[in-house]
């Protein structure tokens, strides 16, 4: 078993936003590393030779599409932050409130569109596939904007706002209904003065499998829950074979995703970070391109002069 697989399996039981990198160790490691390059021409030469490209994306790639993150100062829905609602315990105590929160997020996302970064990634994947080269997107985002942009090879490690899972039979299904159920129509307003709708459980989204009618929940990884082991295994396989890795719009402090790119870099694979600012992992990478992803990524992934287009 490779080092990546060992470490990943050790961390799989941790909450998807529950562990953060050790700043002391990170700073010590950074002092031992050369500063990353921001030379786009050098990156483009590496890009032109890559056969298997892995692109790891986080909230920053969707920020330019106007997607709310519910993090940091002002990151509230009504009186609560996401970590107070996105937990199994919160859903058990008040499924109506949690569904209002996710209904609001679903409705917001239905009005959002992929930005230049999403489109650049999808177009790169389509173009390189015709050359016998592969691109996989490993995203922490649950907004499906990569899918909307046309990305085909997509691993959503935290699930999707537009999938549900039955709490009784376990069935997972895509669900793009608006509203997801009649009782949630017009509900979910984020204003802190808005009262809970207090929707009875029997009126919340229900499983449509024959004879089930169980309560549905969003098919997302909540705080305190494990990542899907099948998805994580697929991520491991892709990162084991990639010969170029891009880290786009992620803070590199949330485990286990924060360890993906540093471990790829540790085996000598070039890693390029595209982010608004430096992160705790920046000095472990060969390249760092600061600025909005929608500005820095399109020229990085554009057709290289050596590419042969059939």
Binding-site residue set: 58-77, 102, 105, 140-143, 166, 169, 207, 212, 249-251, 275-277, 293
Going along the chain, which residue ranges are E strands? 52-57, 76-77, 80-81, 134-139, 154-156, 159-166, 172-174, 216-220, 244-248, 271-275, 287-290
Cis peptide before 220 (omega within 30 of 0): no
Cα 56 from Cα 260, distance rounded (Å): 8
List the catalytic residue out of 16, 103, 146, 158.
Answer: 158
158 tagged catalytic: yes
Phi-psi map region of 153: left, alpha, beta (phi>0 left; psi -120 to 50 alpha): beta
Bridge-based pairing state of the strands 244-248 and 52-57: parallel
* 67-70: long-range pairs with CB below 8 Å, 24+: 67/108, 67/109, 67/112, 67/141, 67/143, 67/145, 68/105, 68/108
- 3-state SS, 145-214, equals HHHHHCCCCEEECCEEEEEEEECCCCCEEECCCCCCCHHHCCCCCCCCCCCCCCCCHHHCCECCCCCCCC
Cα–Cα nearest to 273, from 7, 50, 37, 3: 37
- Give the annotated binding-site residues for NAD(+): 58-77, 140-143, 249-251, 275-277, 293
In total, the chain counts a number of residues equal to 310
Which residues are part of a known binding site for substrate? 102, 105
- Residues flagged as binding site for Zn(2+): 166, 169, 207, 212
Q: Mind telling me the catalytic residues?
A: 158
């Amino acid at each position: 078993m490779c080092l990546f697989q060992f470490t990943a399996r050790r961390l799989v039981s941790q909450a998807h936003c529950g562990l953060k990198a050790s700043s002391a160790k990170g700073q010590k490691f950074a002092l031992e590393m050369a500063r990353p390059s921001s030379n786009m021409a050098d990156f483009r030469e590496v890009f032109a030779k890559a056969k298997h490209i892995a692109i790891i994306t986080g909230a920053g790639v969707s920020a330019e599409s106007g997607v709310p993150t519910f993090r940091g100062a002002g990151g509230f829905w009504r009186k609560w932050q996401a970590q107070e609602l996105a937990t199994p315990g919160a859903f058990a105590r008040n499924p109506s409130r949690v569904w209002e929160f996710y209904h609001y997020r679903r409705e917001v996302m239905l009005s959002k569109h992929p930005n230049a970064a999403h489109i650049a990634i999808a177009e790169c994947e389509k173009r390189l596939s015709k050359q016998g080269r592969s691109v996989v997107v490993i995203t922490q985002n649950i907004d499906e904007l990569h899918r909307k942009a046309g990305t085909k090879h997509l691993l959503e490690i935290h699930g999707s706002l537009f999938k549900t899972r039955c709490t009784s039979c376990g069935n997972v299904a895509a669900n793009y209904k608006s509203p997801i159920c009649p009782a949630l129509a017009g509900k979910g307003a984020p204003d802190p003065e808005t009262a809970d709708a207090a929707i009875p459980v029997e009126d919340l989204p229900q499983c449509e499998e024959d004879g089930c009618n169980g309560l549905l929940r969003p098919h997302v990884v909540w705080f305190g829950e494990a990542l899907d082991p099948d998805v994580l295994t697929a991520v491991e396989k892709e990162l084991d074979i990639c010969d170029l890795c891009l880290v786009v719009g992620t803070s590199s402090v949330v485990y286990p995703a924060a360890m993906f790119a540093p471990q790829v870099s540790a085996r000598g694979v070039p890693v390029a970070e595209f982010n608004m600012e430096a992160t705790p992992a920046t000095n472990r990478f060969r390249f760092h391109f600061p600025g909005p992803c929608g500005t820095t990524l399109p020229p990085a992934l554009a057709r290289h002069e050596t590419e042969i287009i059939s």
